[in-house]
Amino acid sequence: MGRRSKKTRVASLHDERYQQFIELLVQRRKASGLSQQGVADALGWNQSQVAKIETCQRRIDVIELIRLADVIGFDASRLLSEVRKAMIGAGEIIG
């Protein structure tokens, strides 16, 4: 399996669907009352790592999503279901 070019990976950060996903993640963090620093401290990260995720400068993988969900206090699978439903509604995937 070949690696995608850096240009392709960076372009995917600017995908509207990815940005919507991150906005949902940020909404959940704010609703929990946690700051970026609080999330970073709980994960053993730097605050800048959380900021880069929240500003779509850095992608997260599924393991990081699960860890973020545990710290923030939401069900990662529900968030993914919301994103999937939005994509179905937009005709991007078949339900």
d(CA 23, CA 34): 15
- How crowded is the C-beta side of 50, counted as CA atoms within 13 Å? 23
Enumerate long-range contacts of 61-66, CB under 8 Å, 24 or more apart.
65/25
pLDDT in tens, 20-51: 999 999 999 999 999 999 999 999 999 999 99
Q: Are 2 and 72 in contact (CB under 8 A)?
A: no
Domain parsing of the chain, residue ranges: 6-89
* pTM greater than 0.75: yes
Cβ distance 9 to 59 under 8 Å? yes
CATH of 6-89, one of 3.30.2010.10, 3.40.50.720, 1.10.490.20, 1.10.260.40: 1.10.260.40
pLDDT in the model for residue 15:
87
- How far apart CA 15 and CA 58 sit, in angstroms, is 13
